[in-house]
Amino acid sequence: MAEKTVVLYPSLGVGHLNPMAQLAKALLRRGGVSVTIAVVDPPEKDAVLAAALARLAAASPAITVRLLPIPPSSRDPSKAYSHPIMPILDALRAASPALREFLRSHAPAVDALVVDMFCIDALDVAAELAIPAYIFYPSAAGDLAVYLQVPDLCRAAPSSLKDMGKAPLEFAGVPPVRAHDMPDTMQDWESDVCQVRLQQLARMQEATGILVNSFEWLESRALKALREGHCLPGRSTPKIYCVGPLVDGGRTEENGERHACLGWLDRQPERSVVFLCFGSMGAFSAAQLKETARGLERSGHRFLWTVRSSRREHQSNSPDPDLEALLPDGFLERTKDRGSVLKNWAPQTEVLRHEAVGAFVTHCGWNSALEAIMSGVPMICWPLYAEQRLNKVHMVEEMKLGVAVDGYDEELVMADEVEGKVRLVMESEEGKKLRERMATAKEMAADAIKKGGSSDVELGEFLRGLGNIST
């Protein structure tokens, strides 16, 4: 039987490449399919992306990676963008000719093109070449349910979300969402970034299907609303395939050695450490770092904290933060026996899976949330940007796998709040219930992706939809 050919097309950024790479690995494990990841290669070289591609090539030689160059003129250096996502969308749009040429020249013919949720322009390329196009949604099914309803909300709302403050918005399949917890790209209906995103969201229904990086037990209500058409009333909803959790399995250092922080964790008691890590863009002001430090110190609990400072405040030629300058006087010395502070980066997957970790203070990026679920670690939710506030709503109010810090939407989260939430999760009866529910979530996540599990079955249905393929 002829092997099927699937091309995956991620958005720019490691946070979008990594889950797409995990999807590629999951497809290959099933057999009967060849997978190519077509990656936009902007003129300005991204060292982080290059390193991620090198790791992918080394770890998964069966996955073909094809770079799609875009012309330098695609990004005007003098152009002032209103939002950080706008140059990314411009670059993806500029890559369409290279994607078209690659798909045309690909032999054997491509049976499916799976595009990231930001690569909506690629639907036109797929339609032109008569290739079935699917969307890979790397975030929560609850986010997808909300996003599909946003264009209708925009038409019906009397004002932009930024003018609605904490007013609750009602969406099918999810708890009420306060207007200010919606993504920043959606806050001003008149802004150019919102107009572009609304156009993209309105086109998602054109896809043959949508693959979601979640699993049935975790988001059954949102998935039911999606599948029953409640998110696009009166219109056809693409078939929803729930294929997660797709997360990185973790890795050792490139020289094969474990990161030093894992050795530190080896010396800590089981479930005794609070891990704080806020993603590749999670930078804080010096004032916030000091408040966080005071809260951690007062809590009395052990901690492993990845610190990245705001570059606007921290003017230095060094890429590493000056911990002595940023943290309270004497903090590092006073907490040296129960705390460890890392500069910029930690091997998050390996840390979360370590038995010493008992709580995770997270920015609520979906990759991080899934890693916590796969590791059974309850979350203290501190959303920062993008869709993270929306994820917080699902994680705290629907999934009940974490608690939120008060003040995440204010200028500062105060030390008393940091201390209180750490104590709640690590010491209280509510924290015990969180750990018990997270233990169940971990078990259900593992069940979903094992052979015959809900996500494994859905991935098989996606492949069967491509034609005659043994699954």
pLDDT tens track for 128-167: 999 999 999 999 999 999 999 999 999 999 899 999 999 9
Contact 345, 323 (CB under 8 A): no
pTM of the model: 0.94
Closest by alpha carbon to 409, among 380, 379, 382, 369?
382
Q: What percent of the chain has pLDDT over 90?
A: 81
Q: pLDDT tens digits for 19-46?
A: 999 999 999 999 899 999 999 998 777 7
What is 6-43 written as a DSSP string? EEEEPPSSHHHHHHHHHHHHHHHHH-SEEEEEEEEE-S
Per-residue model confidence (pLDDT) at position 190: 95
Axis crossing angle, helix 220-227 with helix 141-156, rounded to the nearest 10: 50
Question: How far apart are alpha carbons 271 and 406 in whole angstroms?
Answer: 24
Q: Please report the pLDDT score of residue 195 as a whole number.
A: 96
pLDDT digits (tens, 9 = 90+) for 200-245: 999 999 999 999 999 999 999 999 999 999 999 999 999 999 999 9
CA atoms within 13 A of residue 397's CA, in its CB half-sphere: 14
Instruction: Give ∠ CA 180-378-388 in degrees, rounded to 5.
Output: 25
pLDDT of residue 470: 44
Q: Which two tokens stand for residue 204?
A: 């998602």
